[in-house]
Amino acid sequence: MRQKTIRYLDLFSGIGGFREGLTQAGGFTCAGHCEIDQHADRSYRALFDTEGEWFCDDIRKADPEELPDVELLCGRFPCQAFSIAGNRGGFADPRGTLFFEIARLTAAKRPAYLLLENVPGLLNHDGGRTFAAILHALDGLGYGLEWQVLNSKDFGVPQSRKRVYLIGYLDERCRGKVFPFTGAAETSLVQVLPEAQGERVYAPEGVSCTLSAQPGGFGGKTGLYAVGPSAESGFGNKHKATYAGANVRLADFKQNSLLISCEPCVPCFVDLNEDPKFTAYSRCLTAKQDSGLHRHKREASGVWDGRRIHRLTPREYLRLQDWRDERIEKVLPLHADTQLYKQAENGVTVTVVEAIGKRLAAAHREVTAAD
């Protein structure tokens, strides 16, 4: 009989987004992790107690004979080979072939479940043949497979981040137990509380949606200002927006050219480019956050405070992946900003994994009780 707690290996672990989400979901125990990036692994070990657990820095070196017995393999194999933001080399890119290392370990260990994540571009890469090859490999190992593209903003996180999640299972009774998710998250995204410096936007649990690393003033530690068209914010027919802390100035832009006009009490993100549009949600995070306004070739978000554009900080990046402050504090002192941006962007959104984990744990309990 299978144990009710699901033991798992955290592959391509990054700083541990999968582990954090599954921990919050409950019913999971991590038996080890694999991560080749030394900086990310340093953060992982600061966040989690890994003493006595299995570890391998390079999945290509992982010996199945040394792996502990587990019921779940999870991970986000490198997405650059399939991402629109990358060169989309697919299996021709060495990073793209790392999926087959997951398949190799799966064939050897035969875990009851698989949970994988990647960019939506995986689905249509090479006319769909790349994803078909992945499905064929796992189907050949006897796994039932289901997948769905999920957006972080539908799980209470103010970031528009679409990723495809794939569930594999050996027991057919698990079919339809995890996917699909339908509709957006039922909980309110934000609530507004009055403060001495003006209204600030908070998540319902009291944690700001996105914060500045600098205390006090606009974008202070306690929240993101809610701004709207008003005399105080300087809204008129045209704006000159400047970049906080720099002498870079955006081109003039008209209010009626904005995709979403800022309404009072709505968090305002703004594109970091010369034709900025306000959005209710942050654009999908990239590792290029610190490359400067005028060099951005792809959409990325800053925060409009009513007067200037405030670039998202590493703390805010991690919060947009649903890491809590007490966890963030463990990693901020360890790395330069460039590394922190990279680690946040390369991870999964914790709350999405938590939601999937809760359904998977419930399905596991159900089939275990029936055995």
Catalytic residues: 79
Going by their DSSP bridges, the two strands 113-118 and 253-254 should be labelled as unpaired
Measure Cα distances from 309 to 152, 180, 183, 246 in Å: 23, 38, 32, 10
DSSP 63-110: -GGGSPP-SEEEE----TTT-TTTT--GGGSTTGGGHHHHHHHHHHH-
Question: What is the dihedral angle through the alpha carbons of 334, 323, 16, 26, rounded to the nearest 10 degrees?
Answer: 140
Best CA proximity match to 149, nearest among 114, 177, 119, 126:
119
d(CA 20, CA 284) in angstroms, rounded, equals: 20
Is 114 in contact with 143 (CB distance < 8 Å)? yes
Measure Cα distances from 114 to 53, 150, 265, 351 in Å: 20, 17, 41, 18
Can you state the angle between helices 38-47 and 17-25, rounded to 10 degrees? 20
